[in-house]
Amino acid sequence: MSTGSSVSPSNIPGKTCTNAQYKFSITPDPLFDISFANANGTKVGARYVDGVQVSVHKLTGALRPS
C-alpha cells in the first residue's frame, strides 16, 4: 500500500492521521495495531491475504542514530 503525500502522520499520541485516497483516519493511542487488506489482491478461500499491518510499541530505551 502506498499512501503517497496525502497522509498526515504524527508521532503525538491522540493526533489523528488521515488519508483521503484510501478513505481512512485513525487516532491512535501510544500503542496500537492496525491492518489494511487489499480487496483487489490475492484471496485464499474467502480471506484476503495481501495487505499491510502496522504495529506501534513503546520502546524501553532510546535508539542511537547508528
Task: Round to whole Å and give the CA distance between 65 and 24.
Answer: 32
Q: Would you state the pLDDT for residue 14?
A: 63
Q: Radius of gyration of the chain from Cα atoms? A: 15
Q: Would you state the pLDDT for residue 22?
A: 82
Domain edges within the chain: 4-56
Q: Would you state the pLDDT for residue 12?
A: 53
Task: Round to whole Å and give the CA distance between 24 and 40.
Answer: 17
Task: Round to whole Å and give the CA distance between 35 and 53.
Answer: 4
DSSP state letter for 54: E
| pLDDT tens track for 4-63 | 434 444 455 567 878 888 888 877 767 778 888 898 999 999 898 999 988 888 778 888
pTM: 0.42
